[in-house]
A and B are shown apart, each in its own frame.
Chain A
């Protein structure tokens, strides 16, 4: 009982699994067989251990289907291997050869294999179909092959070991190239993939990349064909500039083709490409000096040590290319593949491409093959980038099976992905083999090392990688009951998906798009085992500082699933791309071939759509049937006695007057006002009137519009009248004695007024509606506020508001509710008007302009933001995901129009959404899944726009990896959403139970997988170490707490917030941040806009941290509390608060004075920094001991015990107890079932 769907679903889903037949559900069975083979891998550094899960899966798959996946999978982490490999190889060629040989040996027990395998890797990659490894061993040997290929070729033919630079992807590189011109491009996405080395002396960045292309169509040996390639051209033509375009195009073209080949296994490319590896050492000058680059490159500093290559080989020179990081994207691809290209090159030709900036790399025309490269010793060499590469293609004819791309096996190739894959196959081998280089890991600590070291593979097969001594950080077991300091120093970062650096760079920002599990489990069964919810947290309309906006007459979308083209699609050739969600192959339209940014043709992969995971399209007229609606704002104001007494009208009218010109809109913007008490008043603001006319309709049972066309008026034409009205409104009703409120009829009138256009209705309400349709009665029993049993009335009392909201939604009208009431006003019912019309809800309990200045200030600030923020009209949002996943529940404010289409009458930048997903088909034949959110809206300027976010995540097959990728904040937020639903549909107690069970289940599942853990202690993986804390915080949150007196409206409002807030805000609401601010020092500061911002560490939310000598700042998202200790340093009070001592600090203090003292400056800069990080500027309250706000403050200290709830430690003990019974039960069950 009390569990959630994600646990309950387990029964239904497995039914689907048989489809995938061979898909390995558990690692144990088939995998074992593999172990024998890879024993050679044993030499691996143990570091690789943890992630082994990935790899364990590999063999399975291979057996099941094509081994393509394996390689693919394997290619995840190719990066890491490079470094070590090179180290080894650098010293001498001979030795390196030896090494490689050995390494090869490791990999391949059967040397003869290598020959055949030489083509193996390539083809395997190219055409999964043609080259199937049927047995596990085979599949493995595939790896081996790759390795062996490179090795053997190098040994035999050239005797020269080549490294592929592919493997070194210095993370730095991106940082190195800030000069990317295209702002939206977010840096050279792919550029990063290439090793970029900085030569410190010159201040230049040098990149060596190897370029190779293979012609799959023509079986040929390297040597023969090589000369035909662009290589020759390059070498012959010295004039870089003139030919550059040519070249680059050529290159990219070929690159793309190669790529295609990789994917499709055969492309009928007009020009035969050669499996040539060109090592192109590229010296790239700093951003500003493109010209010099040419020079430098011609000088050719980074001559790769080609000298050692035997000249005898007729092969083509690998051209060390001075490639630009950016331009190389495709090169990068090729590169990988090429990495295995033959080394025996005598002539080096440089290839280069333009990057987005039109920055050009000079062609290195010098074909100095024999010069030993000094570069080898430098960073380059270490990273492997500078290395000449051995390509083992040798004489093995590359069969070109031109297999149509459609085969499902080739699915997984992401756009960026294929790159790695081939690289992995070919070049990876030497690197990972080196057991002697454990040292390279530190650089990549972010990543759990996922390399499938064989030893680790085997071990992972046997059990779980958890047992390894070395684990990724996120899997490190944390003993919760003993580790008391689990909070990070600063804010909790979102986990980074375990992708290769290319994809990681391209991926959507976690601020807009987060998944609860950054490693997607392969099957629903695995997901059920993990006991964690799978879902997405979206913040699609977030304010962005940088957003590529694309104007194009054709928006490229998949023809079958309508996915927008995105960075994770794969280009099969220049004219076709493959959808990453449904795997359909689509044509690239002619227009897409032209890249407006570089003004070049034939580079579809460089278009901004493909370079950015967040883009905005300006839609063509296809996307609208009626002209885009103007911005229309209608204000519906309560003017009953209660409202006038509270005094909100003054604040509202003031804010409106101030922001009238800042209202988003264009020349068509319209505005109108309706006020209501027991009657409904309309205001005729028609241009030409001398003053606003009030029209009163007292027939509230049958409401009508007195003058339909002059109530909503053009803002610009009637501005004077509007201003008059706003100035008069606050005083117009000062003497009213009307206490009734006819909200329902006023809303009906508003709906009638808005229905021709759509727009936004802002409702200000101060009491329970008491007249006409939609009247409500008080349902709250104050005596039940602190009840621990049943909390009733969380749902609406009437359908009126829901129906109205649906009607509004149909007319593209959203209703935003501002509830400013001092007593119960049944928010549960009223909120429906916003919930289903995609509006937003603001609630100001006990609002009074003069008695409650904090709330008044909050309203003022909220209004400022509300009136001026961006707004999108008549929006729809669709979330698509890779085939196999399905979205089943949505959370947020909207109406679901068809099962995957959310209808949002308005969308605002502060709205967040959550979705729950299930895995319908097992994902064994893909290694990446993608999610795409497309939000189509009309901007306030009347443009139809589409904002597209795409997120790409890896698929994993082991439970440990699932835990390693858990995003605890996202999990908690999704759980909060589910708990809200549960408490409305079932009961609050049920929801609370479910929350606790979520922790118990997942931790128990984790502990039962890690058999070596003691059962007596409570252990969580590092990634989930905050899980119990957050859940406890949720249980103590206003929405879910019991036992503490909570007003029903407060509770309902908290629930509404949970459903509609984006993750960042929600997390602050659930678990506020506490900082100590009386001793801010300049150490550990960051600089933002020339301001020094101190970064005090996060404190535990516990009273034990509050010392009387200190001052603390609590950041609750919507409010800041500064708590001053009794014995706080008087200097601090004087400097920062502006009062001589503690006693003189006033009770209601909401602002810090502008002091000159450094402590004051620091405090203020810290607070303003915190404020800047969120759209709503929170209200600050200074709290002293005897302050009424004290309870507010102290109830946020969630680690402490309250009279009604556990302390954190007690909560942990409670969980531990439940787990031990739970695990015990499972164990005994297993004992019973397993003889």
Chain B
């Protein structure tokens, strides 16, 4: 029974993972709100509602954009920690997502200064469904990794 660095990593990642799960859930809710306009059709056609709806969309997109960097950096932090703790298996599990995040972050649409979640673009049904799928997948991944970290933490604590 020893409190190793690895154990510490797992404990920290456990906490942060909870945050990531929260992010993912928030994403799902946000995309759902983008997708559906809860007003009745007649209301939707109303210019006053248009303004409100547009504000809403912009606000959501703004928040989404704000969350991108924290999420990505938290996840990168995991990877760095596991690298330092020499937890190769855990690192291996996380590396694919890390690369995906890098790709997502640096693949700006040509010349676009905003990286993602640009209101006109994200409102495209195609993009939206892609984003939603992505959010669901991430939620699943984070949930699984949460329990995995929990297990690993206990395992490292107990075994060493």
Binding site for B on A (CB under 8 A): 5, 562, 622-626, 629, 758, 779, 792-799, 802, 806, 809-812, 828, 835-836, 874, 876, 878, 886-890, 895-901, 903, 936, 984-987
Contact = CB atoms under 8 A, between A and B. Distances in A.
A986 B108 CA distance: 9
A903 B50 contact: yes
Contacts of A874: 47, 50
Given A806-B58, A810-B50, A898 B113 contact: no
B109 interface: yes
Interface in B12-33: none
Nearest to B122: A896
A797 B55 CA distance: 23
B109 A802 contact: no
A797 B42 CA distance: 37
Contacts of A794: 110-111
Contact of B109 (A797, A836, A985): A985
B111 A898 contact: no
Contacts of B111: 779, 792-797, 828
A802 B61 CA distance: 14
Nearest to A875: B45
Contacts of A802: 118, 120
Contacts of A625: 43, 46-49
8 contacts: A622-B42, A809-B54, A888-B126, A889-B124, A890-B124, A896-B125, A897-B50, A903-B50
A895 B54 contact: yes
A895 B53 CA distance: 12
A793 B110 contact: yes
Nearest to B46: A625
A832 to B, nearest CB: 9
A623 B110 contact: no
A898 B37 contact: yes
B35 interface: yes
B36 interface: yes
A564 to B, nearest CB: 11
Given A810-B51, A903-B50, A985-B109, 6 more contacts: A625-B48, A793-B110, A795-B111, A799-B113, A799-B118, A889-B126
B28 to A, nearest CB: 16
B112 interface: yes
Question: Of residues B36, B41, B124, which shows the largest number of chain A Cβ atoms within 10 Å of its Cβ?
Answer: B41
Given A796-B112, A888-B126, A897 B44 contact: yes
Contacts of B126: 5, 888-889
Given A806-B58, A889-B125, A890-B124, A812 B109 contact: no
Contacts of A835: 120
A899 B130 CA distance: 13
A623 B42 contact: yes
A809 B45 CA distance: 13
B123 interface: yes
A986 B111 CA distance: 11
B48 A897 contact: no
B47 A795 contact: no
B124 A836 contact: no
Given A792-B110, A794-B110, A897 B53 contact: yes
Contacts of B112: 795-796
Contacts of B37: 897-898, 901
Nearest to A944: B45
Given A625-B47, A626-B48, A874-B47, A898 B110 contact: no
B107 to A, nearest CB: 10
Question: Of residues B41, B47, B49, which shows the largest number of chain A Cβ atoms within 10 Å of its Cβ?
Answer: B47
A806 B113 contact: no
B85 interface: no
Contacts of A936: 45
Contacts of B36: 898-899
Question: Of residues A828, A886, A903, which shows the largest number of chain B Cβ atoms within 10 Å of its Cβ?
Answer: A903
Nearest to B109: A985
Nearest to B33: A898
Nearest to A790: B110
Nearest to B133: A12
Contact of A811 (B44, B51, B109, B119): B51
A898 B111 CA distance: 26
Nearest to B35: A899
Nearest to B119: A806
Given A888-B129, A897-B54, A899-B35, A758 B47 contact: yes
B65 to A, nearest CB: 11
A623 B49 CA distance: 12
Contacts of A986: 110
B128 interface: yes
B124 A896 contact: yes
Contacts of A987: 110
A645 B138 CA distance: 58
B110 A562 contact: no
A798 B113 contact: yes
A899 B118 CA distance: 15
A899 B123 contact: yes
B103 to A, nearest CB: 14
A622 B57 CA distance: 25
Contacts of B42: 622-623
Given A795-B112, A806-B58, A888-B129, A895 B120 contact: yes
Question: Of residues A887, A889, A985, which shows the largest number of chain B Cβ atoms within 10 Å of its Cβ?
Answer: A985
B58 to A, nearest CB: 7
Contact of B123 (A779, A793, A878, A897): A897
